[in-house]
Amino acid sequence: MSEVEAWLDETPGETRGAVARDGRFTHLLIDREDTPPQHRLGASVVGRVIERARGLDAAFVDLGCDRPPGFLPGKAGMAGERLELEVTAEPRESKGPTLRRIGPGEGAPRLLSPGPTVRESLAKLAPGVVPIEGAEAMRAVIEAEQEALTDHVVVSDLGLDVAVQRTRALIAVDLDLAADAPRAARDRANRRGLQEAARLIRLKGWGGLVVVDLIGGAQDGEKVMSAARAAFDGPQVAFGPLSRFGLLQLSLPWTRTPVEEALRHGGPDMPAAIAGVRALRLALLEDRAAPRLTLVLPPPAADIAMPLVARLGPRAALRPDAACAPGAHMVVEDRP
């Protein structure tokens, strides 16, 4: 039976959660406080139809918050119609959240009920597992972030290299193994490669069309499809046929904002401020003897971080420093 672990980091400005199975991260959840709750997965809202999308059977919907507007596939009424909706996919790139129609709505566009919190989402992803919090959780989610931003996984015991890259059109997965590897080794590497690719794509929060370049030419179609379905298990996953070129195609549903986009949210100064506040909080947890610790940030990031640092308690302080490079931060101890 596989071992499941979960971590929860509730730092002012941003909450993160991570899940690992058998020591390998599978999910990273990021919830920024400045993200409109109407854009969060599972939120229930009242929206007003702005206009029909040209050339598509869909409509753009005002959700009562900052743009971009929501996207509602399927038939909707005329501009001005009020609808009750659920967010089924969070914003990505320049696209707004994807919506599902529940029924008619009344009143101004607004939030009716928020989607699940990070803590609630962890409970669904890791049932019965109490998430670890504090300094250990902070270190774990930082490690999960670093892995989510990589595009390679190496499985040294098999000599397997898995590359996962996202383009505007699709997600490309390349499985690589020594050319002279025997057939049995190729089959094992393909199965493990599909598992690692699925794990990394899930960790990144990606969806859409996936094309996998398998190892070797002639493939046993039934074995490949069975391994793919086990690796990419989940609702709304659609599998295409295995091509004669050894390419496997499948489609994954979009749900959350991709990790790399969530980390860039708010412009360059917001991520710098959040990273600095997290570093300060971690230092406060690890060094309880220091009477006061100060976060040093460049002025634009310091302006954002100021109210967040104030929530860390009397031992936390902030100092803007124009000499601090953009995006950088430093935590120093204040001594008498």
For residue 100, what pLDDT band results from cuts at 50, 70 and 90? very high
170 and 210 Cβ atoms separated by less than 8 Å: yes
Q: What residue has token string 């391994």?
A: 227
Alpha-carbon span 17 to 30, nearest angstrom: 7
What is the reported pTM? 0.93
- Residue 38 vs residues 30, 93, 122, 297: alpha-carbon distances, Å: 15, 17, 20, 31
**C-alpha dihedral (189, 192, 196, 199), degrees to nearest 10:** 160
CA angle 39, 44, 45 (to 5 degrees): 75
| Average pLDDT value for residue range 191-212 | 97
Q: Which residue has the higher pLDDT, 208 or 221?
A: 208
- Predicted pLDDT at 324: 93
Question: Got the DSSP string for 26-49?
Answer: EEEEEEETTS-GGGSTT-EEEEEE
Tell whether the torsion through CA atoms of 257, 165, 328 and 268 is positive or negative.
negative
Distance in angstroms (rounded) separating the CA atoms of residues 197 and 249: 13
Q: Look at residue 334 and tell me whether its pLDDT is greater than 80.
A: no
pLDDT at 184 over 80: no
% of the chain beyond a pLDDT of 70: 98
